[in-house]
Structure 1
Amino acid sequence: MLPEQLQRIIGYFLEEATEHLQIIEQGLQNLQNTVPAPQSIHHLIRASHSIKGGAAMLGFSSIQRIAHRLEHYLKLLRECPIAVDSRLQSLLIEVFEILAALVYKVSKGFGLNHEDANQMLSLAEAVFDELDAYLRVLIPTRLTVRATTDEHIHVFSGYCTSLGEFSSAIVSRVGLLGGTITRHEHEGLGIRLCIDLYLPPYTRIENIRQAVELSGAIIGTVQTQRDFSLLATGDYPVYQSAIEPPAICTGCRYYYGRRDGGYLLNCTIHPRGPETEDCRDREPE
């Protein structure tokens, strides 16, 4: 028999875990509507996190690990523009069912034996591998391009939907501008790409933006930094402020102020909005 105090603590864990599992199950069954609703997806993340914390406190490492991975996947759904489909939903429900089965085993014996825990964890690892591979296909790659000239450093942030195609296309586009790629860093699950470019003096920001976008990227924000060699004069700040989106430019061919996949699209031709009502870049109606 377990000490009475430990039994009582496990009982509290099971009571709370059952409530959290119900929240997760309801959210996953209606995943397409859960993901776009910030409060709903937050409830699922918090429920997974709570189960992870309680399991860690009691030494249920298998439950802790599976809840942690589920929390990680839910955060990706919140942070990345992912189109939820039946396969993704099914894989996440498989993870949930393994997690729920482990909690049920704890409820039957007020504990877990290593054999059961390892068997369920092996099942979960196979699902994790499949989920990771599928998410590489679904998640647009978050992109940072740092373009340096002798006068400025422009930092473009956004995403691209085809990592391989973008990586090969940007080499060609940068070459046409007379520039070179000095760093090409790919991180994580294939969801972050950082590229540094060095370009000839006086390369215009709109030409850089066009090269990046024609390579297959969607640009969300642009920041400009003055070259460090100019700081000695005291004439230039290190950073200009990030672009602040004004009202949406209706009919703008650069889609200023609209959102695409959760990312705000800013126009680098008119970074602070159109100068006049009859902006020359406005599409004819």
Structure 2
Amino acid sequence: MLPEQLQRVIGYFLEEATEHIQIIEQGLLGLQNTVPAPQRIHQLIRASHSIKGGAAMLGFSSIQRIAHRLEDYLKVLRECPIAVDNRLQSLLTEVSDILAALVHKVSKFFGLNHEDANQMLSLAEPVFDELDAYLRVLIPTRLTVRVTTDEHIHIFSGYCTSLDEFSSAIASRVGLLRGTITRHEQEGDGIRLYLDIYLPPYTRIENIRQAVELSGAIIGTFQTQRDFSLLVTDYPLYPSAIEPPTICNGCRYYYGRSDGGHVLNCTIHPRGPEDEDCRDREPE
């Protein structure tokens, strides 16, 4: 690419990146209100994704890396019921500020030298480490509870915010319903918890659901099976794979499975792409 053409392309990138950074900064400023609003958090994810794509095209690997990490963190906020606090907001803002500083350096010199890029990356890495560690604390335990009576199998999938409190509370409430916990399995340092519960015949589903919810669980999905031949004996309990839209085949963002009670088509479009020609498609 000729120098004049390259400068023009960098100019387009800077114009779009500046707009995207403003969107990200505004969204992070009111993060507690942004996260519960699907359109707003998706807007931040798309902005980070666009900066990442433009930087990759121009060879600005440091900008690409930081934008990609920010995009991943925002996806976690969208997909997990995390309580946003000041520390989380501050850490994400630090990432955004470093990204903005790199884009500003490009605007001053219409390029980015390795020394400046490496210096900014060295500032970002400790923030990434702290964010990773803090998110492991904030992300709630994924939960699968299978309740069996003589007539039905009820399967609840969702989250609990405190593993110890939930385990203690559900044991007490199952006892009040004259039931027993027959399997209690924790996987991956508290990231996922499986419970098998047996309850007396004709226990009302309302009482079962209330026991699970009042123990501290957030139920994402619920299903009932009548035919015991359908009983699944091995965890995890996931529905069968989703049939993807054609455009999703081979895309790195496509999931096509149920995870933690939330059916995901992809990380950007949970219910599938809005258009037949998805702008976010990236081959694996």
AA aligned to 1:111 is G
Paired with 1:79 and 1:207, the residues of 2 have a C-alpha distance of 29
Q: In the aligned structure 1, how far is the partner of 2:150 from the partner of 2:112? A: 63
Q: Which residue matches 1:199?
A: 198
Find the counterpart in structure 2 of residue 17 from structure 1.
17
Greater displacement, 60-69 / 15-24: 60-69
**Equivalent position SS for 2:158:** strand
State the shift of 1:84 in Å.
3.0
1:33–1:218 Cα change, 3 Å = closer
Residue 126 of structure 1 and its aligned partner are, at CA, apart by 1.1
User: 1:181 and 1:171, CA in 2 relative to 1: closer, same or farther beyond 3 A?
Assistant: farther
CA displacement at 1:41 relative to structure 2: 2.6
| Partner residue, 1:58 | 58
Alpha-carbon distance in structure 2 between the residues aligned to 1:43 and 1:209: 35
The CA RMSD measured in Å over matched residues stands at 3.5
Match of 1:216 in 2: 216
Mean Cα deviation higher: 128-137 or 175-184: 175-184
Structure 2 residue runs of 5 or longer lacking an equivalent are: 232-238, 240-261, 263-284
Sort the Cα spacing of 1:174 and 1:60 in 2 relative to 1 into closer, same or farther, 3 A.
farther
Give the partner amino acid of 1:48.
Answer: S
Q: Which amino acid aligns with 2:69?
A: R
- Kindly tell me: are residues 162 and 8 of structure 1, through their superposed partners in 2, closer, same or farther at Cα, counting changes over 3 Å? same
**3-state DSSP of counterpart to 2:112:** coil
Which residue does 2:103 correspond to in 1?
103
Measure the CA separation in 1 of the matches of 2:71 and 2:8.
26
**Pair 1:134-2:114 in alignment:** no
Gaps of 5+ in 1: 232-238, 240-262, 264-285
Identity over aligned pairs, percent: 81
Runs of 4+ in 1 over 6 A off after TM superposition: 171-176
TM-score norm. by structure 2 comes to: 0.65
Deviations 1:5-43 (A, max 9, x none): 333222221121111111112222233333344333332
Give the match for residue 225 of structure 2: 225
SS at match of 1:111: coil
- Give 2:182's aligned residue: 180
Deviation at 1:98, TM superposition (A): 0.6
Q: Which amino acid aligns with 2:10?
A: I
SS at match of 2:21: helix
Contact 1:158 1:221 in 2 (8 A): yes
Go from structure 1 to structure 2 and tell me whether the alpha carbon gap of 1:46 and 1:212 turns closer, same or farther (over 3 Å shift). same
Paired residues of 2:140 and 2:160 also in contact (CA < 8 A):
yes
Q: 1:70 to 1:153 in 2, by over 3 A?
A: same
Which segment drifts farther, 62-71 or 111-120? 111-120
Q: Match for 1:125: what amino acid?
A: E
Residue 116 to residue 174, structure 1, CA distance change in 2 (3 Å): farther
Return the alpha-carbon distance in structure 1 between the equivalents of residues 20 and 115 of structure 2.
25
Structure 2 contact 145–197 (Cα < 8 Å) conserved: no
Between the aligned partners of 1:125 and 1:171, the Cα distance in structure 2 is 42
1:162 CA drift (Å): 0.9
Is the Cα contact below 8 Å between 1:98 and 1:124 reproduced in 2? yes
- 1:207 Cα deviation after fit: 6.1
Asked if the contact 1:150/1:227 (under 8 Å) is kept, the reply is: no
Change (3 A) 1:230 1:113: closer
Task: Show the counterpart of 1:153.
Answer: 153
Query: Do 1:145 and 1:196's aligned partners in 2 also have CA atoms closer than 8 Å?
Result: yes
Structure 1 residue 167 displacement after superposition: 4.6
CA contact (8 A) 1:174 1:181 kept: no
In structure 2, what is the Cα distance between the partners aligned to 1:171 and 1:59? Answer: 56
Aligned to 2:273: none
Residue identity matched to 2:198: L
Q: Which moved more, 1:213-222 or 1:202-211?
A: 202-211
Helix, strand or coil for the counterpart of 2:180?
A: coil
**How far is the alpha carbon of 1:4 from its aligned partner?**
3.2
Q: How does 1:37-116 map to 2 (within 5 A)?
A: 37-116=37-116
Instruction: Please give the TM-score of this superposition, normalised by the length of structure 1.
Output: 0.65
Q: How many aligned positions are there? A: 230
Query: 3-state SS of the aligned residue for 1:100?
Result: helix
Q: Specify whether residues 219 and 10 from structure 1 end up closer, same or farther in structure 2 by C-alpha distance, changes over 3 A only.
A: same
User: How far, CA to CA, are the matches of 1:160 and 1:21 in structure 2?
Assistant: 34
Which structure's CA Rg is the greater one? 1
Which residue of structure 1 lines up, in the alignment, with residue 6 of structure 2?
Answer: 6
